[in-house]
């Protein structure tokens, strides 16, 4: 909108200046001609002015109004000022076409007249022409703006019926910024609608499974084994609901990063110490003694932990974490010796609720949100995640953090 206001005021200023200058040139060209007898009158007035001792004396002699105007109220162009300095008289028509003579007397300039009265109504066309031309130029300026606003209004009106329809305006459009904001909003709404469909599908499938098992257990005869199984299913549902709510909160961006100097080496060592006692391959570290970087420690720990748990789930016996510092980036590699990820599956697996396993059993782990959450955290840090082939033979997940 700032661009629109600046463009409008610049246009209006240039239009007024341009029209005023152009019409003034026309006005000068159409000034009334000086009567032939005026030359003799001008010489007589010059002679009488040189002889007069005061404006009052000249006024009584000529029976015309004489005013002193040489006190700075009139700024003469250079050519007119030179003529006055040479003792010549200047003939000037006023706005109402009255005729005046300006004569320099000593350090003063005297205005004599009006010598001939004008016709005030004879120049009304000048003002009418000015406003007509200004209205015409304003209309030409507003026409493309009105066209683009109508296109934007049409897109807003049809959005509910056809949300996939995009809005394209010319790059020079004055509402280009507004259309880009609308386009970002449209894409965000489409993304949220897709997320809602995926979330509904995942919840309907993943919650029905433990609920069905719980109903079956409740129908069975009570025993310690059944109570334990019931407790496991309740815990599975809690984990699932917490994960889904966590992802929804991340998508809604209800939390913001708190950047600070984080020792990534210490963070990796703490994660290895916390996760190694759990079932799965041991985590080996290849990190420098100290690596300080600006990031959000809580979310970076969450991202690295998700990748380590994913690697341990698919590894055959080896998982490693490597920190590598370059000129303006830090790279975090999480490697495993599992089956790896096919190249054509690497983009798809980053989408929400996508899992490479054909089933959704609780033993295969997760609901397909771990990698998506990691990717969102990296986007918040203006970094990125790349999936490749590990030197260990399995998958390699690389997080790249830029320098803030």
Q: What is the tens place of the pLDDT at every residue in 229-272?
A: 777 777 767 777 777 676 666 665 545 678 899 999 999 999 99
Nearest to 335 by CA among 398, 384, 386: 398
Confidence band of 70 (pLDDT split at 50, 70, 90): low
**C-alpha angle 341-241-232 in degrees, rounded to nearest 5:** 85
**Contacts within 8 Å (CB) and 24+ apart, 53-61:** 55/110, 58/110, 58/112
The residue-averaged pLDDT of 348-368 equals 58
> What is the number of helices (H) and of strands (E) in the chain?
11, 11
Domain-located, residue 37: yes
Domain-located, residue 126: no
Task: Tell me whether the omega of the peptide bond preceding residue 378 falls within 30 degrees of 0, making it cis.
Answer: no
Q: Rg of the chain over CA atoms, in angstroms?
A: 43
Confidence band of 357 (pLDDT split at 50, 70, 90): low
The residue-averaged pLDDT of 106-130 equals 69
Distance separating alpha carbons of residues 388 and 321, to the nearest angstrom: 15
Domain-located, residue 395: yes
Domain-located, residue 248: no
Give the contacts of 236 (CB within 8 A, at least 6 positions apart). 210, 362
Residue 386: both structure tokens together: 């790349």
Cβ-contact 93, 118 below 8 angstroms? yes
Choose one of 118, 134, 154: the last residue of a domain: 118
pLDDT score, position 237 = 74
CATH code where residue 277 lies:
3.30.565.10
Backbone φ, ψ for residue 293 (5° rounding): -145, 150
Domain-located, residue 18: no
pLDDT score, position 299 = 87
Give the contacts of 379 (CB within 8 A, at least 6 positions apart). none
| Residue 116 bridge partners (DSSP) | 99
Count of domains observed in the chain: 2
Query: Has residue 126 got a pLDDT over 70?
Result: no
Cβ-contact 265, 301 below 8 angstroms? no
The residue-averaged pLDDT of 10-30 equals 69
The residue count of the chain comes to: 404
pLDDT score, position 24 = 66
Distance separating alpha carbons of residues 45 and 180, to the nearest angstrom: 71
Residue 196: both structure tokens together: 């809602």
Distance separating alpha carbons of residues 348 and 345, to the nearest angstrom: 5
**CA dihedral sign of residues 239, 243, 244, 248:** positive
Classify strands 319-325 and 283-286 as parallel, antiparallel or unpaired.
Answer: parallel
Query: Has residue 301 got a pLDDT over 50?
Result: yes
Backbone φ, ψ for residue 220 (5° rounding): -85, 165
* Residue 374: how many other CB atoms lie within 10 Å: 23
Residue 168: both structure tokens together: 């394209």
Which stretches of 159-223 are DSSP H helices?
176-206, 208-219
Choose one of 52, 86, 118: the last residue of a domain: 118
pLDDT score, position 358 = 46
Domain-located, residue 232: no
Residue 74: both structure tokens together: 């009139």
Distance separating alpha carbons of residues 1 and 145, to the nearest angstrom: 12
Domain-located, residue 226: no
* Residue 116: how many other CB atoms lie within 10 Å: 14
The model's pTM is 0.51
Find the range with the poorest average confidence among 123-127, 141-145, 234-238, 310-314. Answer: 123-127
Return mean pLDDT, the chain.
78
| Residue 90 bridge partners (DSSP) | 102
The residue-averaged pLDDT of 366-389 equals 84
pLDDT score, position 404 = 66
Find the range with the poorest average confidence among 111-125, 126-140, 343-357. Answer: 111-125
Choose one of 99, 118, 137: the last residue of a domain: 118
* Alpha-carbon 14 to chain mean position: 28
Residue pLDDT, tens place only, 307-337: 999 999 889 999 999 999 988 899 999 999 9
The boundaries of the domain holding residue 106 are 31-118
pLDDT score, position 292 = 93
Domain-located, residue 278: yes
Nearest to 339 by CA among 397, 389, 278: 389
């Amino acid at each position: 909108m700032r661009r629109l206001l600046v463009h409008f005021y610049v246009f209006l200023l240039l239009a007024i200046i341009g029209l005023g200058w152009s019409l003034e040139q026309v006005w000068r060209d159409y000034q009334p001609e000086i009567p032939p007898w005026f030359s003799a009158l001008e010489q007589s007035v010059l002679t009488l002015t040189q002889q007069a001792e005061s404006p009052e004396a000249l006024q009584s002699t000529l029976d015309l109004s004489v005013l002193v105007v040489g006190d700075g109220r009139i700024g003469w162009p250079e050519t007119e000022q030179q003529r006055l300095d040479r003792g010549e008289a200047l003939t000037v028509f006023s706005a109402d076409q009255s005729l005046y003579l300006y004569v320099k007397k000593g350090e003063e300039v005297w205005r004599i007249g009006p010598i001939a009265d004008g016709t005030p109504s004879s120049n009304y066309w000048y003002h009418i022409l000015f406003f007509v031309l200004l209205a015409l130029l304003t209309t030409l300026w507003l026409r493309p703006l009105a066209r683009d606003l109508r296109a934007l209004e049409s897109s807003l009106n049809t959005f509910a019926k056809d949300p996939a329809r995009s809005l394209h305006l010319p790059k020079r459009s004055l509402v280009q910024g507004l259309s880009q904001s609308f386009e970002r909003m449209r894409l965000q709404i489409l993304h949220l609608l897709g997320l809602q469909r995926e979330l509904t599908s995942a919840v309907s499938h993943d919650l029905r499974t433990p609920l069905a098992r719980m109903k079956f257990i409740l129908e069975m005869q009570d025993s310690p084994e059944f109570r334990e199984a019931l407790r496991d299913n309740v815990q599975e549902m809690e984990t699932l609901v917490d994960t889904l709510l966590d992802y929804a909160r991340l998508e809604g961006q209800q939390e913001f990063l708190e950047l600070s100097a984080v020792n990534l080496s210490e963070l990796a060592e703490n994660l290895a110490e916390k996760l190694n006692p759990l079932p799965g391959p041991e985590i080996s570290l290849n990190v420098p003694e100290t690596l300080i970087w600006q990031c959000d420690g809580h979310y970076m720990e969450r991202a690295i932990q998700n990748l380590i748990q994913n690697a341990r789930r698919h590894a055959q016996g080896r998982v490693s974490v490597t920190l590598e510092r370059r000129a303006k980036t830090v790279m975090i590699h999480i490697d495993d010796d599992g089956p790896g990820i096919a190249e054509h599956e690497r983009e798809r697996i980053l989408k929400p609720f996508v899992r490479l396993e054909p089933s959704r059993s609780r033993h295969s782990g997760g609901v397909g949100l771990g990698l998506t959450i990691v990717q969102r955290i990296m986007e918040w840090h203006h970094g990125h995640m790349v999936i490749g082939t590990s030197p260990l033979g399995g998958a390699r997940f690389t997080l790249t953090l830029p320098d803030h």
